[in-house]
Structure 1
Amino acid sequence: MELWTLLKLLSVLFVLSVIGLYVYRMYFDPLAKIPGPKLAAASLWYEFYYDVVRKGRYTWKIWEMHDKYGPIVRISPYEIHINDPEMIDEMFGMKTAFFATESHELHRIRRGVFAHYLSKATLLRLEPGIQSVIDKLVSRLEGLRGSGRNVNLLDVYASLTGDIIGQYAFAQPYGLLDDPDFSPYWHKLIMGVSPNGHILKQFGWMMPLMKAMPPWLVKIVQPQMMTLIEFQQEFRRQVIQAKEEITRGEKPVGQETIFYDVLTNDQVRPQEKETDHLQDEAQTIIAAGSVTTGNILAIASFYLVSNPPVLGKLQTELGNLMSKTGPLPKWQELEQLPYLTAVITESLRIGYGVSHRLQRLFPDTVFQYNGYALPPMTPVSMTTIFLHDNPTFFPDARTFRPERFLEQPSLRKYLIPFSRGSRQCAGLNLAYCELYLTLAAVFTPGRFTLELFETDISDVETKHDFLNTSPRLDSKGIRVTIN
């Protein structure tokens, strides 16, 4: 057979296979009756266009789908999205659902390895160490008082949370707060890595290929991917260093350290101590433990500074407590403050936590919703942004109003900034500890005053979903001066 004839035959077969796949997905697939755009049902390229080409905008396209088609839509050939706050418990129940990335049993084992180190009881013991890092932040800000210099709170708080989690994970404080400019590269590094998630979702083969290529070629072909590779290599280096220190009989001094304790714990399976696995865990813990909480702290600070009545109420409450406890109240004491708790809850609501949709599988049951029956193992997702901005439960949703949670405490059940159920973020206790202690320290009455510098709501509102929330791409951050 001539080459040209073979190529024509292959081309015809390819076109027929594409047409056949389209016909199947449109008319014979078990999900064919679920409403939604035909292009989204036909191909993952629809999602690719909005999340890669349009830079993290598929979330807002899905919102438009719900406006047009109703509370259940087919957003890809395989995935169904639901926008209904009353479905939160069923979607995120402890016994019914799990992520597609690994088996539920394997996740349970691996989560159990780290659960102790991120438990509230452990963090209460570590609170003095966390407070000492916050004290360093306060000292830095006091040193800038009256200087007229502006600082980016996204960098400031990412440095704070990065130093805290670095010390706790590897006994290696990164010294981010010591940098005169609050280490802007750190926040930029993690946010620069985030968009790669959309690319790797579409092209899972790309990361192994990039790792096999010479670094100089990766930097030319896909510089963003090189940033991710270097990010992973650094965590691998830290894991290997921890193993070598243990081999030499060295032990971190001063506090419990997550990865040292995991590596020396005889109850932890050998599989969970493998370098590749611990590298992945380190990336998740360090990245999630830095930018996500840091972003919420920056957003909370913006809304407090731009709402004097809200800030006044908070500082009155803090002042009343500190008149009894002194200038450094404990985490458990701060948790009892209703207005501070409402401020933190509203900050988590309006800042979302994670912007990307949360996906679940139901392996053994037919998922029933709104008259539709989804086969077992169908990915079903919900999105924090849609729930937190739901106009029925949160009227005037983009207005920062902590009072809504004092008036209706039951509204908290519609919030999922840390997800919920068996896949709830393991670091939520650390996040809450940092939120309470940091906001109390920074906004202690009479200490110093933050004033916004060339910053408005467009620097805060989420406009791109890179798994982490992102404002408009040309934003210079949430900048303040200290007086």
Structure 2
Amino acid sequence: MDRTMTAEILAVLFVFYVFGLYIYRMFFDHLSHIPGPKLAAASLWYEFYYDVVQKGQYTFEIGRMHEKYGPIVRISPYEIHINDPEFIDEVYPGSSPRSMKYYWSQRMFGLKSAFLVTESHELHRLRRNALAHYFSKQSLRELEPGVQSQVDKLVSRLQGLKGTGTAINLLDVYACLTGDIIGQYAFARPYGFLDDPDFSPYWHHIMMDVSQNGHILKQFGWMLPLMQSMPDWMVKKTNPQMMTLINFQRVQGFRKQIIEVKESIARGEKPTGQTTIFYDVLANPNVRPEEKTTDHLQDEAQTVIGAGTVTTGHILAILTFYLISNPAILQKLQSELLPLMSETDGRPKWSQLEALPYLSAVIQEGLRIGYGVSTRLQRLFPDKILQYNNYSIPTMTPVSMTAVFIHDNPSLFPNPRTFNPDRFLANPGLKKYIMSFSKGSRQCAGLNLAYAEFYLAVAAVFAPGRFEWELYETDVTDVELKHDFMNTCPKMDSKGIRAVVN
């Protein structure tokens, strides 16, 4: 048999394989009863087209699927998506029933063992518990002065720019704030982003480039290990964005910092001032040796620094935009802040700020309109068949929901793209539909830190009589979601959320 005939036979067999797979997935697969587009059910390449070729557009395509097929759709050969606010607790339960993460989707983070990407319910609890104490509300109360010191530094920087006419990118500014805060928490070493005269624009950009890489890594999980084994010049030439992720891991020196903490513990040294996340983990005899390896803690460090920077920084920038854009809302907020700011010499505590109902409503509305994480979050249930209306969802089927659709649901939030904190004053129960930090047993471990940053930063930046703000060549198109890179991204040619402080 010559090579030509062999090639022809292989081509025919491949065509039969593809056709047979298509028929199976359409009519015989265990998810074939779930409505949705045939191409999405047939192949993951459907998602590839929208997220990689079209740059983060699959979330919007899923929205169109729901408009056509209803609240439950099959969005891939393996995954179901549900758009129903009343089903949140079923998809994101507490400790019971057991839920797992979807290995295929978790590849987008470029991590191996961090608790964020751990599939197993039991192993996730072990890994999360190793860090959870440090993010508890009690621990944060004790370490609040560290957060306040970075907020004070931000205020000082803004006072130096007051009246100069200098336009600043609020996305860069708040990424500096949150990056320095989480650096101090993790290693007692703020990265000094706020000290940069230009607010370290590379830091926000690198975080967004890393996010954009996620769609490629999800589709091609082998790519990052391959790129890491290649010379830098070759990576830069073949995939510049992947080089961004590699540089992020290197430049921040996560591995080096973990090793330094280990060496200090071996010498019997204790950190001066506050303790840190990774010192506590390594010095804690109750944490398993497996959670103390350098490789694992390097992944955890990348997770903590990345997650502790982007989402909170984005929400603060979006909140600032909407407060500047709505003078009546800002005036109402400042009227509420005025007595407390006067009593505390302009530096109120987090607990005092939490008691302010309008400030709390402003923050909830910022979380709602800014979404937080814009991509869908999957869960798998090894012990339970989910039942949605007349549809049974088999065990170990990835089921997902998306904050974008819940937060923009007009039945819950009339005129959803209008910034209106009063909706949370009129109906405090709406808070249960906010999914910015996910829900259930896999909810973001850093939620309490994020809230501390929201309250302290908003109060400081909008303290009555402290600053007057003016937007600079910025409108709502620089804020509205146009690309889902896991983190929200506006139009690609946006120059940021820019403002002048007076």
Partner of 1:256: 275
Matched, 1:29 2:39: no
Between the aligned partners of 1:5 and 1:423, the Cα distance in structure 2 is 54
The residue matched to 1:81 in structure 2 has which SS? strand
> Deviation at 1:5?
2.2
Identify which of 137, 154, 157 aligns with 2:154: 137
1:166–1:173 contact (8 Å) kept in structure 2: yes
Partner of 1:50: 50
Between the aligned partners of 1:114 and 1:466, the Cα distance in structure 2 is 26
> Deviation at 1:90?
1.2
Between the aligned partners of 1:183 and 1:120, the Cα distance in structure 2 is 30
Task: Output the TM-score relative to the length of structure 1.
Answer: 0.98
Matched, 1:482 2:501: yes
1:44–1:77 contact (8 Å) kept in structure 2: yes
Between the aligned partners of 2:379 and 2:48, the Cα distance in structure 1 is 20
Partner of 1:125: 142
Partner of 1:241: 260
Between the aligned partners of 2:353 and 2:186, the Cα distance in structure 1 is 25
Partner of 1:198: 215
Between the aligned partners of 1:344 and 1:47, the Cα distance in structure 2 is 33
Matched, 1:178 2:180: no
Between the aligned partners of 1:270 and 1:52, the Cα distance in structure 2 is 39
Matched, 1:394 2:396: no
Partner of 2:110: none
The one-letter code matched in structure 1 to 2:228 is K
Partner of 1:332: 351
> Deviation at 1:257?
0.5
Matched, 1:5 2:5: yes
Identify which of 113, 134, 153 aligns with 2:170: 153
Deviations 1:156-176 (A, max 9, x none): 000000000001101221000
Between the aligned partners of 1:384 and 1:84, the Cα distance in structure 2 is 11
> Deviation at 1:252?
2.5
* Matched pairs, number: 483
1:98–1:422 contact (8 Å) kept in structure 2: no
Matched, 1:362 2:381: yes
Between the aligned partners of 1:375 and 1:264, the Cα distance in structure 2 is 43
> Deviation at 1:217?
1.0
**Structure 1: which 5+ residue stretches go unaligned?**
none
Q: Which moved more, 1:174-183 or 1:244-253?
A: 244-253
Between the aligned partners of 1:347 and 1:313, the Cα distance in structure 2 is 16
Partner of 1:100: 102
Partner of 1:275: 294
Identify which of 275, 278, 285 aligns with 2:304: 285
Matched, 1:231 2:233: no
Partner of 2:107: none
Between the aligned partners of 2:369 and 2:176, the Cα distance in structure 1 is 22
Partner of 2:224: 207
Q: Which moved more, 1:234-243 or 1:301-310?
A: 234-243
Deviations 1:327-368 (A, max 9, x none): 111000000000000000000000011000011111111111
Between the aligned partners of 1:20 and 1:237, the Cα distance in structure 2 is 51
Between the aligned partners of 1:26 and 1:335, the Cα distance in structure 2 is 52
Partner of 1:72: 72
Between the aligned partners of 1:221 and 1:334, the Cα distance in structure 2 is 50
Partner of 2:477: 458
Partner of 1:300: 319
Between the aligned partners of 2:157 and 2:32, the Cα distance in structure 1 is 58
1:459–1:475 contact (8 Å) kept in structure 2: yes
Between the aligned partners of 1:67 and 1:11, the Cα distance in structure 2 is 38
Task: Output the TM-score relative to the length of structure 2.
Answer: 0.95
Partner of 2:435: 416
Between the aligned partners of 1:408 and 1:90, the Cα distance in structure 2 is 23
Partner of 2:111: none
The residue matched to 2:52 in structure 1 has which SS? helix
The one-letter code matched in structure 2 to 1:104 is H
2:146–2:184 contact (8 Å) kept in structure 1: no
The one-letter code matched in structure 2 to 1:73 is V
The one-letter code matched in structure 2 to 1:194 is S
Matched, 1:110 2:111: no
Partner of 1:442: 461
Between the aligned partners of 1:152 and 1:323, the Cα distance in structure 2 is 29
> Deviation at 1:100?
2.4
> Deviation at 1:480?
0.6
Q: CA RMSD in A?
A: 1.1
Deviations 1:436-468 (A, max 9, x none): 000000100011111100000000011110000
The one-letter code matched in structure 2 to 1:53 is V
The residue matched to 2:308 in structure 1 has which SS? helix
Between the aligned partners of 1:469 and 1:275, the Cα distance in structure 2 is 31
2:437–2:443 contact (8 Å) kept in structure 1: yes
The one-letter code matched in structure 1 to 2:78 is Y
Between the aligned partners of 1:185 and 1:239, the Cα distance in structure 2 is 24
Q: Which moved more, 1:407-416 or 1:182-191?
A: 407-416
> Deviation at 1:395?
0.5
Between the aligned partners of 2:369 and 2:440, the Cα distance in structure 1 is 21
Between the aligned partners of 1:450 and 1:144, the Cα distance in structure 2 is 12
Q: Report % sequence identity.
A: 69
> Deviation at 1:2?
2.3
Between the aligned partners of 2:5 and 2:48, the Cα distance in structure 1 is 33
2:372–2:487 contact (8 Å) kept in structure 1: yes
The residue matched to 1:157 in structure 2 has which SS? helix
Matched, 1:266 2:285: yes
Deviations 1:292-331 (A, max 9, x none): 1000000000000010000000000000222333311100
**Structure 2: which 5+ residue stretches go unaligned?**
104-118
Deviations 1:239-290 (A, max 9, x none): 2232233334443221120111111211111100112211111111101101
Between the aligned partners of 2:381 and 2:359, the Cα distance in structure 1 is 38
Between the aligned partners of 2:481 and 2:276, the Cα distance in structure 1 is 34
